[in-house]
Amino acid sequence: MLEATIRWLFFIFLSFFPLVLSFILIKVKITRVKTWSELLKGGELFLFSTTISASSIVSIFNVPSKFGFGLKLITLYLLMIVLLISSGMFSVFFFLKLNEVNLSIDEKLFVHSLTWWTILAVILNYLAFIQGHVYW
């Protein structure tokens, strides 16, 4: 189980690798983006949350749960909620970005909520991973 968890962490790290590189560019001051909030305000983490939720739903559907049907059902419902909201939010922010609409929202609050939403998606992904016995 430890080996599988390490592999899972490696794949999660690979998923975040573009953001890690972007953060390094911000710190080295190679890019015109100056803060982490500026980098994330486009809502790209919503796309990540959507993708990871969709893959979790597929993996948990394919294999019976080790922990019982109730936890599997709760995990599926939460993953579907994350998938629907995060894909909807990404679509809204992408539409606004394409149409150059400027919203007067608190950027830090938005980035904090986006970060917590992504953390929820990762936790649910791990819960689905554990339940589904998915060993990559």
Distance CA 96, CA 90 (A): 10
Residue 135 has pLDDT above 60, yes or no: no
Predicted confidence (pLDDT) per residue in 12-63, tens digit: 888 878 777 777 777 777 667 666 666 677 677 888 888 888 888 877 777 6
The per-residue b/e assignment along 43-54, b for 16 or more CB within 10 angstroms, e otherwise, is bbbbbbbbbbbb
Provide the 3-class DSSP secondary structure of residue 20: helix
45 token code pair: 């983490």
For residue 136, name the pLDDT band (cuts at 50, 70, 90).
very low
Residue 67 has pLDDT above 50, yes or no: yes
Q: What is each CA distance from 130 to 50, 68, 72, in whole angstroms?
A: 19, 12, 10
Q: 42: buried, middle or exposed (CB in 10 Å: 19+, 13-18, 0-12)?
A: middle
More confident residue, 14 or 108: 14
More confident residue, 113 or 31: 113
Residue 84 has pLDDT above 70, yes or no: yes
129 token code pair: 């991973």
Q: What is each CA distance from 5 to 10, 26, 79, 108, 117, in whole angstroms?
A: 9, 30, 19, 32, 21
The mean pLDDT of the chain is 77
